[in-house]
Amino acid sequence: MSSNLDREATEWATQQEPTHPYVTPGSATGPEISTPSMATVLEMVLGLRSQELAVYDAITTDPGASTKTLAGTLDRDRSNVNRSLTKLEAAGLVTRHRRILDSGGYYYANYAAPSDVVDDIVSTALDRWAAAAQSMLTDQQWETPLAGSTDS
C-alpha cells in the first residue's frame, strides 16, 4: 500500500503543470461545497441516526408526548423509541419529565429543548467536530486507509 502512495506522491510531485490549480486558503477557486441540511449536521456532529431525528421531529410536533404516543405516531416499537429518546436526551436535545397519573402509575412526557439551547449544543459540537477534523489534517492522519474506517 505504501509503495502505491510513494509512487503516486512521486508522480504528483513531478507533474510539470497540474491539471487543476492548487487550492490555497483564501483562493476563490476550489471544490464546490454544498450546504448541508440540519439533519446531516446532527448526524455528523452528534452521531444521531434517522430514527432519532424522526423521534425529535415527532416531539417538536407533539410536545409532552409519551413514549407510547410517539411509538404509535412513528409506527415503531416503544423500546426502539425509548432508545432514541435516551440518545436524544444524552445529546441535550430532549428532556423527559415524569408525570404521575391520577389512577396511579406514571409516564414520561417528552419535550424538545428550546431552539436557542439546541443552537448552542449544535454550534459547540460542530466547533469540536471541525477542530477534530482539522487536527486529523494537521497530524496527517488522512494518509491512513479511508475505506472501512470508522468515525468516532
> Does 2 or 106 have the greater pLDDT score?
106
The confidence score (pLDDT) of residue 13 equals 60
> Does 91 or 149 have the greater pLDDT score?
91
pTM, 2 dp: 0.70
Q: What angle do CA 24, 28, 30 make, to 5 degrees?
A: 65
Coil, strand or helix at 79:
helix
Nearest to 123 by CA among 19, 42, 18: 42
15-48: pLDDT as tens digits: 556 566 666 666 666 677 788 888 999 999 999 9
What are the CA-CA distances from residue 18 to residues 32, 63, 73 (Å)? Answer: 19, 56, 55
What are the CA-CA distances from residue 61 to residues 19, 96, 117, 122, 130 (Å)? Answer: 51, 15, 18, 20, 31
The confidence score (pLDDT) of residue 17 equals 61
The confidence score (pLDDT) of residue 96 equals 93
The 8-class DSSP code of residue 147 comes to: T
Contact 46, 125 (CB under 8 A): yes
110-144: pLDDT as tens digits: 999 999 999 999 999 999 999 988 887 777 665 66
The confidence score (pLDDT) of residue 134 equals 85
71-92: pLDDT as tens digits: 999 999 999 999 999 999 999 9
Coil, strand or helix at 3:
helix
The confidence score (pLDDT) of residue 20 equals 60
CA–CA gap between residue 89 and residue 86 (Å, rounded): 5
Terminal Cα-to-Cα distance of the chain (whole angstroms): 24
